[in-house]
Structure 1
Amino acid sequence: MQQPSDPAGLAAGGIPIQLLRLISPTQPVGAFSYSRALEWAVHAGTVKDEASAACWIFGLIDHSYAALDGALFWRMAHALQEGDQASFLKADAWLSAARESREIEQEDRRMGESLLQILRELDVPAAQALADRRLGFPAAFALAAVHWRITPADALRGLLWSVIENQVTAAIRLVPLGHTAGQRILVASPPVIERAAQKAASLSDDEIGNAAPAMAMASAWHETQYSRLFRS
């Protein structure tokens, strides 16, 4: 299939349309199946209303995702831009080794496998070349972003948005929150995303690491939770 002259599909305002497609809830990667430990937090009463849901979700972004997933995604995207596959795969392996629980590792790998399969079916060369690899979701997202010439900065913010949106969707079902409450959390998220993106892009290798013990323990406890709607 012939690639368009503007692969990112920039709209008049400079928004990468291909990025909007990548972060859309209709992207069939199974994100709706996972809560990243939010289900246990609701079960335990830690998250019980709009305020506590926002605190949990934004805390996850600030203390976990920005400092680990986001920072390593930033390295993966730049490595791909520079044609450095070894550094790209090293960052993906680093992220896998840093996972806090079996469930979070499985969530990452299964969503990564799904996105890679989509990219292969869309004839993305980099995905075809890595057909024998099991990559995590941030790595697969980086492959897609670089293919469609989405800048690492835009892609990072889009990835952060997708995590928050999925968490809000899970909270609407679990707490439960009303849809308007969910929208209020999303409306409040841009400063959190911007702060997290700047943090992820500025960390040195020695500073990368997760600092969310409550989420890690909740994820481990979720593995034996007696009744579950979500897979993580």
Structure 2
Amino acid sequence: MAIHTIIMDNQTPLIRLFSWLSPAFPIGGFAYSQGLETAIADGRIRDQDHLADWIGGQLHRGGLRTDAYFLAIAARAVTNGNWTALSEANELCLALQISAERDKEMREQGHSFIQAASAWPIPMADALSAAFKNPMALPVAFGAMAGLHGVLPGAAIAGFVNSAVAQQISVGVRLIPLGQTAGLAIQAALEPRIAKLASRAISACLDDISALSYGSEIASLNHEDLGVRIFRS
């Protein structure tokens, strides 16, 4: 059974998306680096070009690509009322987290996002309400909420990935360190890749989920052993 959301005008879903992606939205994303802090600490990322390559790799075959796919799958599942597909996507997304820190990050931010988004009350199926009460990975929670609120999938994916890229750049700006101008240059240069990923992710299914990002995964595992840590992952 599909869910039909009543929206007052065409701009409302987009405005909600902007609010969810605001740095002020209380999910604590600023506290995590997804292993980037480790890569900077051990000298693998030392300048603007290194950081751009690292994030570009995540968009190509890493965690950012995978998150975009899960988001799209979750949004489509909620739009179509396919609760089995939503559950399967969430279970796989949580199972693929390579380290304890990344698993905790996914669960905590997913929970925080669902709680914060409840500021926009909206009718939902009992099955979805029950799903939101269980641990849910952030991209799945974001996609599910986007589908529920009638946010266009392409906009939701592009916005989510762009925000994640900005967060990674913020880590680099603070730790390498880089100037704000250099950070913005990376963001601008990665726009075509973000747009391309958003277009590809819209039709993704679970069989498309794969990654080849050993460097970031090992960095995430090693982050637990850093002597001095600013970020939580």
Q: Tell whether the structures are fold-level matches, with TM greater than 0.5.
A: yes
* Residues 68 and 157, structure 2, Cα contact 8 Å, conserved in 1: yes
More displaced 10-residue stretch of structure 1: 219-228 or 125-134: 125-134
Computed over aligned residues only, the root mean square deviation of the Cα atoms, in angstroms, reads: 1.9
Identity %: 30
Q: Do residues 191 (structure 1) and 192 (structure 2) align?
A: yes
The verdict on how the C-alpha distance between 1:174 and 1:27 changes in structure 2, with shifts beyond 3 A counting, is: same
Structure 2: runs of 5+ lacking an equivalent: 1-5
Is 1:77 equivalent to 2:55 in the alignment? no
Task: Flag the 1:206–1:9 CA change in 2: closer, same or farther, 3 A.
Answer: closer
Deviation at 1:38, TM superposition (A): 0.5
In the superposition, relative to structure 1, how do residues 208 and 130 fare at CA in structure 2: closer, same or farther (>3 Å)?
Answer: closer
Which residues in structure 2 correspond to 1:22-171 (within 5 Å)?
Answer: 22-126=20-124, 128-171=129-172
> How many angstroms does 1:7 deviate by?
6.7
Q: How has the CA–CA distance of structure 1 residues 61 and 179 changed in structure 2, closer, same or farther, with 3 Å as cutoff?
A: same
- The number of aligned residues is 225
Query: Are 2:4 and 1:6 equivalent residues in the alignment?
Result: no
2:232 alignment partner in structure 1: 231
Distance 2:84 2:122 in 1: 19
Does the Cα contact within 8 Å between 2:153 and 2:202 map onto a contact in 1?
no
TM, length-normalised to structure 2: 0.89
Residue 65 of structure 1, CA deviation: 3.0
Distance (whole Å) between structure 2 residues aligned to residue 227 and residue 20 of structure 1: 34
- Whether the 8 Å contact between 1:29 and 1:114 is mirrored in structure 2 is yes
Give CA-to-partner distance per residue, 1:66-121, whole Å, 9 cap, x none: 54222122111100000111111110111111112111111111100101111234
CA distance in structure 2 between the aligned counterparts of 1:124 and 1:193, rounded to whole angstroms: 30
For residue 99 of structure 1, give the secondary structure of its aligned residue in structure 2.
Answer: coil
Shift of 1:132: 2.6
Partner residue, 2:18: 20
**Partners of 1:7 and 1:223 in 2: CA distance:** 45
Separation (CA, whole Å) in 2 of partners of 1:206 and 1:195: 19
Secondary structure at the aligned position of 1:223 is classed as helix
Determine the structure 2 residue equivalent to 1:13. Answer: none
Question: Aligned partners of 1:56 and 1:121: how far apart in 2?
Answer: 35
1:66–1:200 CA contact under 8 A, matched in 2: no
Asked if the contact 1:120/1:128 (under 8 Å) is kept, the reply is no
